[in-house]
């Protein structure tokens, strides 16, 4: 099936934290393979593996030192092949994380590039002379604090790093760099992977003239916690040349058939526009996602703006919507002010996702209603948390290990001390405590995903929003013959609506349809109603 990714459900696995079978406190490929039955039982279509390539792990694998091997922490290429084979046996496709915008400073390419200015890879990274006073060539900052430029004493030049100084940025202006990266993608395609998640996909090119970025007006007039957020990054990323390389990647994946690419758009000012531009037509990315649904905003207007805005700008493009991943506070904790309880928010979240037009992503543990782990400073490993504590606690709180057995050591993740701690509030949501319980969050996820799978209109139908006041989000998903109307209460207080017309309640629901068309949505309640296409029910406020 060439377009399997359209409307698919993709489950993200953070390998360090999924299952440790080697006994070193760090998750591994063998552990993932052993636990794939759990993933398949959810009813998802594919898994996305965060990086497992050789790396010094300064940024937990997002600093790659070899694109065509497996880090010994996680296993071997044979372990990877076994994982792919088992996933395919279970009907799961496998997407791997490709970090192409930068490498580790321990990558052989960088070791050669920094040696001098005349070697064959001298221009494979973004190098620049200092200004006359010795300062960096422009004002670009790093995401992780300080300038995005690091002085190299051998070359007596600065090199660009949008993240850690140990993550130098590749120079995509050089065709040889593009060719080399495409070769690394071909290596994994030949091993049977079904696609790529492309990290920081809009960072490949920077302004060739290295012009400084303009300032960004601050909402409250105060500096932000991270100075990176005080600039409009019009020159340091999201350059027009990027699309040319996306087309080269698409041409490569199209040679294999049935493969898919999703790009992570790191853009705070123009996220929807970049998503649209990168997925438009059939010669760029298959899908793209941004952080627009991974933030604190939790209103009907916000979700409508994202979905409606995307399809208005790119009617032939395709989005991927997620509420959590390895970079953000888990949504059950992030949206706690709007939640009747963590469990109610978890059930509402999956009910919303299965109704959204596009591909949807889940993050490991989300199916358990997992909450953010509270960590002490001395327990942190993440560079942003260590740099910006306590206002920004970093990303470790969403990366703590998966919990399998509440009574086992470290909740069944590892017999050794894990790289991040397993704490009682997280262990209390272990798989074994929810398995077989029809009232559990795990059961709600399985039911919601089964509903989406059974209703083609939820994977393929178009969306038309219904005008209702906050806190109600409502829309019709319509196919050739059938419509499903999706209604959600985004608040911890009950809401009453009126529903007029012939419609039958379908799928999982937390709503009551009484006489006279009175529709009661409990706290964080939701409902799905089926009708013939063109005969959709009319919903209105009480």
Residue that the structure tokens 């089926």 belong to: 530
Task: Give the C-alpha separation, 286 to 253, whole Å.
Answer: 10
Which one from 150, 199, 276, 357 is the annotated catalytic residue? 199
Read off the tokens for 131. Answer: 């200004």
The residues near 38 (Cβ < 8 Å, ≥ 6 apart) are: 431
Domain edge (last residue) among 400, 429, 452: 452
| CB of 89 closer than 8 Å to CB of 73 | no
Which one from 267, 357, 367, 536 is the annotated catalytic residue? 267
Task: Give the C-alpha separation, 467 to 379, whole Å.
Answer: 47
The domain spanning residue 76 has which CATH number?
3.20.20.80
| CB of 369 closer than 8 Å to CB of 383 | no
Task: Looking at the structure, tell me whether residues 440 and 506 fall in a common domain.
Answer: no
Task: Looking at the structure, tell me whether residues 402 and 487 fall in a common domain.
Answer: no
Task: Report the phi/psi class of residue 382: left, alpha or beta, with left for phi > 0 and alpha for psi in -120 to 50.
Answer: beta
Task: Give the C-alpha separation, 165 to 148, whole Å.
Answer: 8
Beta 472-478 vs 157-160: how paired, if at all? unpaired
Per-residue pLDDT reduced to its tens digit, 71-93? 999 999 999 999 999 999 999 99
Q: Is the pLDDT of residue 231 over 90?
A: yes
Domain edge (last residue) among 432, 452, 472: 452
> How far apart, in Å, are the Cα atoms of 308 and each of 321, 357, 493?
13, 10, 26
Q: Which of 55, 96, 72 is nearest to 188 (CA)?
A: 96
- pLDDT-derived band at 46, boundaries 50, 70, 90: very high
Any domain includes 110: no
The DSSP output letter for 418 is P
Task: Looking at the structure, tell me whether residues 21 and 80 fall in a common domain.
Answer: yes
Any domain includes 408: yes
Q: Within 10 A of 176 (CB to CB), how many other CB atoms are there?
A: 12
467 labelled catalytic: no
Per-residue pLDDT reduced to its tens digit, 305-361? 999 999 998 898 999 999 999 999 999 999 999 999 999 999 999 999 999 999 999
Task: Looking at the structure, tell me whether residues 381 and 469 fall in a common domain.
Answer: no
| CB of 339 closer than 8 Å to CB of 492 | yes
Any domain includes 144: no
Percent of the chain having pLDDT more than 70? 100
292 labelled catalytic: no
Task: Looking at the structure, tell me whether residues 34 and 14 fall in a common domain.
Answer: yes
Per-residue pLDDT reduced to its tens digit, 370-418? 999 999 999 999 999 999 999 899 999 999 999 999 999 999 999 999 9
The pLDDT score that the predictor gives to residue 2 is: 79
Residue that the structure tokens 């084979």 belong to: 85
Which residues partner with 500 through β-bridges? 538
**Containing structural domain, residue 448:** 9-102+175-452
Per-residue pLDDT reduced to its tens digit, 489-527? 999 999 999 999 888 899 998 777 777 789 999 999 999
Average per-residue pLDDT for the chain: 96
**449 φ, ψ (degrees, to nearest 5):** -70, -35
The pLDDT score that the predictor gives to residue 511 is: 77
User: For 55-80, b where at least 16 C-beta lie within 10 A, e where not — what string?
Assistant: bebbbbbbbbbbbeebbebbbeeebb
The pLDDT score that the predictor gives to residue 1 is: 67
What strands lie across the sheet with 504-506, from one edge to the other? 462-465, 472-478, 482-489, 526-532, 504-506
Q: Is the pLDDT of residue 113 over 80?
A: yes
User: Rounded mean pLDDT of 205-230?
Assistant: 91
Lowest mean pLDDT among 55-59, 472-476, 477-481, 534-538: 534-538
The pLDDT score that the predictor gives to residue 502 is: 84
Give the dihedral sign, CA 263/264/266/272: positive
Task: Looking at the structure, tell me whether residues 230 and 282 fall in a common domain.
Answer: yes
User: Rounded mean pLDDT of 263-289?
Assistant: 92
User: Rounded mean pLDDT of 1-10?
Assistant: 92
Domain edge (last residue) among 410, 431, 452: 452
Beta 320-322 vs 359-363: how paired, if at all? parallel
What strands lie across the sheet with 93-98, from one edge to the other? 287-289, 260-264, 195-198, 93-98, 46-49, 9-13, 359-363, 320-322
Q: Is the pLDDT of residue 473 over 70?
A: yes
The residues near 502 (Cβ < 8 Å, ≥ 6 apart) are: 531, 532, 535, 537
User: Rounded mean pLDDT of 115-137?
Assistant: 98
Burial, 327: exposed, middle or buried (Cβ in 10 Å; 0-12, 13-18, 19+)?
A: middle
| CB of 266 closer than 8 Å to CB of 291 | yes
Task: Give the C-alpha separation, 360 to 260, whole Å.
Answer: 14
Task: Looking at the structure, tell me whether residues 366 and 492 fall in a common domain.
Answer: no
Task: Looking at the structure, tell me whether residues 344 and 432 fall in a common domain.
Answer: yes
Cis before 226 (ω within 30): no
The pLDDT score that the predictor gives to residue 532 is: 95
What is the count of structural domains for the chain?
2
Task: Looking at the structure, tell me whether residues 440 and 358 fall in a common domain.
Answer: yes
User: C-alpha angle with apex 414: 409 to 415, nearest 5 degrees?
Assistant: 60
Percent of the chain having pLDDT more than 90? 91
The DSSP output letter for 55 is -
Any domain includes 159: no
Q: 478 by DSSP, 3-state: which?
A: strand
pTM confidence score: 0.97
Task: Give the C-alpha separation, 367 to 361, whole Å.
Answer: 11
The pLDDT score that the predictor gives to residue 509 is: 83
Task: Looking at the structure, tell me whether residues 470 and 404 fall in a common domain.
Answer: no
Task: Give the C-alpha separation, 177 to 183, whole Å.
Answer: 10
The domain spanning residue 536 has which CATH number?
2.60.40.1180
């Amino acid at each position: 099936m060439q377009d399997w990714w359209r409307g698919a459900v993709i489950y993200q696995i953070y390998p360090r934290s999924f299952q440790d079978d080697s006994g070193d406190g760090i998750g591994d490929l063998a552990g993932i393979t052993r636990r794939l039955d759990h993933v398949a039982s959810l009813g998802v279509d594919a898994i996305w593996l965060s990086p497992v390539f050789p790396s010094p792990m300064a940024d937990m694998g997002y600093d790659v030192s070899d694109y065509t091997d497996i880090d010994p922490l996680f296993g071997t290429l044979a372990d990877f092949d076994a994982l792919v084979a088992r996933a395919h046996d279970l009907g799961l496709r496998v997407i791997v994380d490709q970090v192409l915008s930068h490498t580790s400073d321990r990558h052989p390419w960088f070791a050669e590039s920094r040696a001098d200015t005349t070697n064959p890879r001298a221009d494979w990274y973004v190098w620049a002379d200092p200004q006359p006073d010795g300062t960096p060539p422009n004002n670009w900052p790093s995401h992780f604090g300080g300038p995005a430029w690091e002085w190299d004493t051998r070359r007596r030049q600065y090199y660009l790093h949008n993240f850690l100084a140990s993550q130098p940025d590749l120079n995509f202006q050089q065709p040889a760099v593009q060719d080399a990266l495409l070769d690394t993608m071909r290596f994994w395609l030949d091993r049977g992977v079904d696609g790529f998640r492309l990290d920081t996909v809009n960072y490949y090119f920077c302004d060739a003239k290295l012009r400084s970025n303009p300032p960004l007006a601050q909402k409250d007039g105060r500096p932000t916690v991270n100075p990176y957020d005080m600039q409009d990054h019009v020159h340091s990323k999201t350059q027009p040349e990027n699309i040319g390389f996306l087309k080269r990647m698409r041409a490569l994946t199209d040679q294999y058939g049935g493969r898919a690419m999703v790009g992570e758009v790191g853009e705070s000012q123009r996220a929807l526009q970049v998503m649209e531009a990168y997925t438009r037509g059939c010669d760029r990315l298959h899908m793209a996602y941004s952080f627009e649904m991974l933030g604190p905003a939790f209103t009907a207007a916000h979700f409508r703006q994202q979905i409606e805005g995307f399809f208005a700008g790119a009617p032939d493009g395709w989005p991927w919507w997620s509420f959590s991943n390895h970079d953000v506070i888990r949504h059950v904790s992030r949206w706690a002010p709007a939640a009747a309880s963590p469990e109610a928010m978890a059930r509402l979240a999956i009910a919303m996702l299965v109704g959204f037009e596009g591909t949807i992503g889940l993050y490991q543990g989300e199916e358990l209603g997992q909450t953010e782990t509270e960590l002490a400073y001395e327990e942190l490993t993440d560079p942003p948390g260590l740099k910006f504590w306590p206002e920004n606690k970093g990303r470790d709180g969403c990366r703590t290990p998966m919990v399998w057995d509440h009574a086992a050591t470290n909740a069944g993740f590892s017999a050794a001390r894990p790289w991040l701690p397993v704490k009682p509030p997280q262990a209390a949501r272990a798989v074994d405590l929810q398995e077989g319980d029809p009232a559990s969050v795990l059961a709600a996820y399985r039911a919601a995903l089964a509903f989406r799978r059974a209703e083609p209109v939820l994977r393929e139908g178009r969306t038309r929003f219904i005008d209702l006041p906050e806190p109600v989000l409502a829309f019709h998903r319509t196919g050739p013959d059938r419509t499903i109307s999706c209604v959600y209460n985004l608040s911890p207080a009950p809401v009453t609506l009126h529903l007029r017309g012939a419609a039958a309640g379908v799928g999982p629901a937390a709503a009551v349809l009484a006489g006279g068309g009175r529709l009661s949505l409990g706290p964080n309640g939701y409902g799905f109603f089926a009708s013939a296409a063109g005969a959709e029910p009319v919903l209105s406020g009480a």
